[in-house]
Structure 1
Amino acid sequence: MTSRLLSHLEEGILNSLISAMTILVFVEVIARFFFNTGFLWIQELTLTLCGWFVLFGMSYGVKVGAHIGVDAFVSKLPPKGRKYTALLAVTICIIYCIMFLIGSWDYLAKMYQIGVPMEDLDVPHFIVNLLDADQAWELFRIDSEDPAIPLWLSQSILLIGFLMLTWRLIELGIAILRNQMDGFYLADEAKESLHLIDETPDTTNDKNLGDK
């Protein structure tokens, strides 16, 4: 039950992010082409949402098998060979995630220490009014006189995304050890394309009959 709720939550967040990006880009295009104007904050917000969508979605991609991989060699191995190769690949991915988590922590800690703000995105005024000026700076690095969103907050998805990805990889490694899976569940574009072709109705014969 908990796993299902978390899955729905992930899907809801990803759907919200992609929907918000689509709406913002649509508004920006309409503003530029029909009203000869634009909004700088939309561009920065869209880029931020895109980063959140990619980094938040990469762990979900591992879960549902949305990532593309090359398994032509691995698929030819015997079951034990596939298992050990998959465990090696998972271990390498986890090491990579740990390295990225360390780098992300150092980067975000530096941004937090310096208090670097975003360029065109501000914290809503009703939130700023709820915060004490000293506490806003000490806790969040928000300047009450120029309440731009702090960069560490907008880029915290670096930690969130790679923590989630690490957890998904650990889950995958445990499933491989228990022989519940034999490796990464990868997307197969060729197979999906052939499946779509098989499902597409053949209208050639109908057209020939019509011509006759």
Structure 2
Amino acid sequence: MSTHYEPRGVLGRLVHEIEETAIALILGLMTLITFINVVLRYGFNTGLIWGLEATAFLFAWLVLFGMSYAVKVTAHLGVDAIINLFDKPVRRALAFLAAAVCIVYAALLLKGSWDYWANFANLPQTEGRWFPLGLEEMKRSSYRAWYEVNDIPMPDWLRWIEPLMNEGEAYEKIPRFIPYAMLPFGAALLLFRFIQAAMRLATGEAQSLIVSHEAEDAVDDVRHMNYEE
């Protein structure tokens, strides 16, 4: 059966609410932009030029937000048919091994996402092929914050970043480092959630990283419905 996540403490509840609110807002914005574009296209033969690109960015944000959120609320699916053949100590050891692999993967993902985003944010990339061994020395020719997205126009309330990131030059479209910022943020959040999951294993609060069994849950739901009838 899946485990329901219960946030602990004031900070835990606050972060939990912020994450759920952000996901709900992203879904709402995607729906609203798509609906407006459909109405404009079929009703007025026009549309939001930037609508498709904005929806694509929002969907990417939703995926990056959702992958760590699913770890937190234990909603990822898993197959444990073979693992259940072993005794409990072996299953526990395999769970720790899986947690270690996930943590290493998330750390590598964080390094790669930071290096990719830093290229657009006038920030130094990390040294080292696999693990960060420091920060590269930045040169003026390395600055790439002038890269813009294709369609989304630059709003006036963001003009204050132009002297900081683009040497005072005006942006016609929003700079890429803004939507791309979700890459390292999402990877860092994923790493944090995997560390939390490993800690739950260490304290005995969880027995494995596999916590959602969709087929078993569906069978149980049907069984309860039959009992109620």
Q: TM-score, normalised by structure 2?
A: 0.78
Residues 78-89 of structure 1 mapped to structure 2, 5 A cutoff: 78-89=87-98
Q: What is the match of residue 144 of structure 2? A: 114
Shift in alpha-carbon separation, 1:196–1:24, aligned structure 2, 3 A: farther
Following TM superposition, the consecutive aligned residue runs of length 4 or more in structure 1 with deviations greater than 3 angstroms are 198-202
CA displacement at 1:122 relative to structure 2? 2.4
- Aligned-CA RMSD value: 2.2
Of the structure 1 ranges 155-164 and 23-32, higher mean CA displacement relative to structure 2 is found in: 23-32
CA displacement at 1:178 relative to structure 2? 1.9
Cα distance in structure 2, aligned partners of 1:73 and 1:108: 39
- 1:2 is matched with which residue: 1, 8, 11? 11
Q: Secondary structure at the match of 1:194?
A: helix
Identity over aligned pairs, percent:
30
Q: What is the match of residue 126 of structure 1? A: 157
Residues 133-152 of structure 1 mapped to structure 2, 5 A cutoff: 133-138=162-167, 143-144=169-170, 146-152=171-177
Q: What is the match of residue 67 of structure 1? A: 76
Aligned-partner residue type, residue 71 of structure 2: V
Shift in alpha-carbon separation, 1:109–1:127, aligned structure 2, 3 A: closer
CA displacement at 1:133 relative to structure 2? 4.8
| Offset from partner CA, 1:120-142 (integer Å, 9 cap, x none) | 112311332xx27533525xxx8
Instruction: Answer 1 or 2: which has greater helix percent.
Output: 1
Asked whether the 8 Å contact 2:78–2:210 carries over to 1, the reply is no
Of the structure 1 ranges 8-17 and 183-192, higher mean CA displacement relative to structure 2 is found in: 183-192
Q: Secondary structure at the match of 2:166?
A: helix
- 2:108 is matched with which residue: 96, 99, 105? 99
Q: Secondary structure at the match of 2:120?
A: helix
CA displacement at 1:111 relative to structure 2? 2.1
Cα distance in structure 2, aligned partners of 1:8 and 1:171: 18
1:170 aligns with 2:195: yes
1:189 aligns with 2:214: yes
1:24 aligns with 2:29: no
Shift in alpha-carbon separation, 1:133–1:98, aligned structure 2, 3 A: closer
Structure of larger gyration radius: 1
Aligned-partner residue type, residue 121 of structure 1: I
Aligned-partner residue type, residue 43 of structure 1: L
Cα distance in structure 2, aligned partners of 1:45 and 1:132: 20
Cα distance in structure 1, aligned partners of 2:44 and 2:226: 44
Q: What is the match of residue 34 of structure 1? A: 43
Asked whether the 8 Å contact 1:55–1:157 carries over to 2, the reply is yes
Cα distance in structure 1, aligned partners of 2:169 and 2:220: 55
Q: Secondary structure at the match of 1:114?
A: coil
